């Protein structure tokens, strides 16, 4: 028997518009990754200095996301996203205007805490309220904005940096981000449909134990798990172009590898979303994390161009399932009314991991002079993630379910 559903054609139109917004906004931190060496050379610093700017973007985004999620629940997501788009444009202009202080303030405060924070967590929570049957697939689609950005922007950024310099490229992209995101938000971001009577399955009750543990204990475990896997995830993303340069492979080829890594993740994420709708968020995290660890090992085993292209594609296929699976796990395990703050808290921990990985790989490289010790450290973090998530998964036996999220 067909059940009533809140999903309509409008749900997917909104999801596609959000995908476009995230595909642009995610370009902001990628620019620093692509221009890591030129920025360090221009400012006369070690690589860990501009790498820290990228890390501050993730930290600011995660911290601000908790606040912006709360604000979006009260004034609506449209105004929050418009404000964030303006801050991204302003922040990139400031970051391009001076030395390290301007770079850190522009990236960490304006782009991160006040700009990007208005994007992923508020928007993924917003879109989840348009879906009840294919929530995992919808979240996977919009979360693919990161990988669409990765497939599109690195090569363009490389050309821009070579032709115009990193400062003009950064300022120009900031203006583009504001011009694109603001109209999309005005047109497409409206109040999500009210939940139809009879469409919602009995979900978790506020204050009830989760997997036999206190709710906040499970939340803390999810935060620790996503921190570990995102530490691993960000290392190749932040340093792949620089690694290629060290090996005598041109920056254009390195940028192409980064695009391939993130482009393959876009297509793989649709599979992971389909799987998550059937086995649940926690089991998907475990499987995707194992795939990421296996692919990460490949960066230790190859140093040639063909091998690195292959490993980059495999790495993208593996880690693509992680972020949307955490969102779905929060929706599976906790009451829907708590999603507005629990999702940003988990995403904050993930962004701290992204910040930690990019910065830590730079520190380890500066100490040893090559990237193998950094990537080995990333694998150790990934193993820690598997232990934490495995402990949660085995408290809830795997069971297949129809594509209908709670």
- Tens of pLDDT, residue by residue over 10-22, are 899 999 999 999 9
134-148, 178-192, 264-278 — most confident range: 178-192
Q: Mean pLDDT across the chain, nearest whole number?
A: 84
pLDDT recorded at residue 132: 75
CA atoms within 13 A of residue 104's CA, in its CB half-sphere: 7
Burial tier of 329 (Cβ tally within 10 Å: 0-12, 13-18, 19+): buried
CA separation for the pair 385, 277 (Å, rounded):
22
53-62, 281-290, 335-344 — most confident range: 281-290
CA separation for the pair 30, 258 (Å, rounded):
10
Q: Decide: pTM greater than 0.85.
A: no
CA separation for the pair 44, 359 (Å, rounded):
18
> Which fold would CATH assign to domain 12-192+199-393?
Growth Hormone; Chain: A; (1.20.1250)
pLDDT recorded at residue 189: 92
Q: Which helix (H) or strand (E) holds 68?
A: helix 48-75
Provide, rounded to the nearest whole percent, the portion of the chain with pLDDT above 70.
93
* Degrees, nearest 5: CA angle 355-223-120: 60
pLDDT recorded at residue 288: 92
Q: Which residue has the higher pLDDT, 185 or 252?
A: 185
Average pLDDT rounded to a whole number, residues 160-189: 92
Where does the pLDDT of residue 198 fall: very low under 50, low under 70, confident under 90, or very high at 90 and above? very low
pLDDT recorded at residue 110: 93
**pLDDT at position 145 over 50:** yes
Residues whose CB falls within 8 Å of the CB of residue 86, separated by 6 or more in sequence, listed in order: 115, 178, 182
pLDDT in tens, 244-281: 877 778 777 887 887 788 778 877 887 888 888 788 88
pLDDT recorded at residue 18: 94
**pLDDT at position 162 over 50:** yes
Nearest to 173 by CA among 358, 351, 34: 34
Tell me the H-state helices in 96-198.
100-104, 120-128, 135-143, 145-164, 166-188
pLDDT recorded at residue 80: 94
123-137, 180-194, 221-235, 254-268 — most confident range: 221-235
């Amino acid at each position: 028997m067909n059940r009533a559903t809140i999903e309509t054609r409008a749900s997917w139109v909104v999801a596609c518009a959000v995908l476009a917004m995230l595909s642009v906004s995610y370009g902001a931190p990628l620019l620093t990754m692509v221009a890591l060496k030129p920025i360090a050379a221009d400012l006369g610093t070690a690589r860990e200095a501009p790498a820290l700017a990228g890390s501050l973007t993730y930290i600011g985004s995660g911290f601000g996301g908790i606040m912006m999620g709360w604000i979006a629940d009260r004034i609506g997501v449209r105004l929050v996203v418009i404000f964030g788009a303006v801050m991204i444009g302003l922040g990139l202009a400031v970051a391009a205007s001076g030395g390290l202080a301007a770079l850190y303030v522009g990236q960490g405060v304006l782009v991160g805490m006040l700009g990007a924070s208005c994007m992923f967590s508020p928007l993924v929570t917003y879109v989840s309220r348009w879906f009840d049957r294919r929530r995992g697939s919808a979240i996977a689609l919009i979360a693919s904005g990161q990988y669409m950005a990765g497939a599109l922007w690195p090569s363009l950024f490389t050309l821009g940096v070579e032709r115009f310099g990193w400062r003009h490229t950064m300022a120009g992209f900031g203006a583009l981000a504001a011009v694109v995101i603001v109209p999309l938000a005005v047109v497409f971001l409206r109040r999500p449909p009210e939940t139809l009577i009879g469409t919602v399955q009995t979900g978790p009750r506020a204050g009830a134990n989760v997997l036999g543990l206190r709710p906040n204990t499970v939340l803390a475990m999810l935060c620790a798990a996503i921190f570990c896997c995102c530490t691993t995830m960000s290392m190749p993303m932040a340093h792949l172009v620089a690694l290629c340069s060290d090996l005598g492979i041109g920056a254009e080829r390195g940028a192409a590898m980064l695009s391939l890594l993130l482009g393959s993740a876009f297509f793989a994420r649709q599979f992971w979303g389909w799987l998550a709708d059937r086995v649940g968020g926690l089991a998907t995290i475990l499987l995707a994390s194992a795939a990421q660890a296996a692919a990460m090992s490949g960066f230790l085993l190859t140093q040639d161009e063909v091998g690195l292209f292959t490993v980059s594609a495999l790495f993208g296929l593996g880690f693509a399932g992680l972020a949307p699976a955490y969102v779905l796990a929060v929706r599976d395990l906790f009451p829907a009314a708590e999603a507005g703050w629990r999702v940003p808290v988990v995403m904050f921990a993930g962004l701290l991991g992204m910040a930690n990985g990019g910065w830590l790989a730079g520190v380890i490289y500066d100490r040893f002079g090559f990237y193998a010790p950094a990537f080995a450290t990333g694998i150790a973090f990934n193993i820690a993630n598997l232990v934490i998530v495995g402990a949660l998964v085995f408290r809830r036996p795997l069971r297949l379910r129809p594509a209908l999220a709670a």
